[in-house]
Amino acid sequence: MDRRQFMKELGTGLFKTVREVAGPFVERDLEKLSRLRDHWSGYVFVPLELPAASNQDQVLDRWANGETLLVRSSDEGWAAYSGRCPDCGQLLHYLAYSDTASCFGCGSSYGWEEQDRSPVRYPLRREGGGWRVGLPPKEKAHA
């Protein structure tokens, strides 16, 4: 083995050693950054059960952390919406024939892509083989 090969092997071995030693520290720091991002986003991410395969334009009723959600499948993937009417707070009902969410309390109807007339949309992400939805934190009752 000549000097050039020796230095190459030494550098490779040193790099592997540093990577193995520093790996757990970097993973821990990435986990901390992920938790910090969640905290700063203003949402509490809670687990949400969704089927592995979905039909196109399928809407599911789900409950997560005491909140009702309408979860919709489309070309872009899953999207989570509040299951409560933005106007009066009653439960929204999905009407398949018109592909809208309607409130039977105040008579309002909401589309999915309309910016001014759609239910509140929540962030949804895949994490650890499952789905998590970002819900606003619940206010604590004052005694």
- For 63-76, the DSSP string reads EETTEEEEEEEETT
Query: Is 114 contained in some domain?
Result: yes
Query: Is 118 contained in some domain?
Result: yes
Write the CATH number for 114: 2.102.10.10
Give residue 116's pLDDT.
Answer: 66
Query: Is 17 contained in some domain?
Result: no
* Structural domain count, the chain: 1
Query: Is 52 contained in some domain?
Result: yes
Give residue 53's pLDDT.
Answer: 67
Amino acid identity, residue 141? A
Tens of pLDDT along the chain (143 residues)?
788 888 888 888 888 888 888 778 777 887 778 777 777 777 888 888 887 766 667 888 888 888 889 988 877 778 888 888 888 888 999 888 888 888 898 888 888 876 667 788 888 888 878 888 888 877 765 55
Q: Which domain holds residue 81?
A: 44-135
Helix (H, G, I), strand (E, B) or coil at 131: strand
Query: Is 57 contained in some domain?
Result: yes
Query: Is 14 contained in some domain?
Result: no
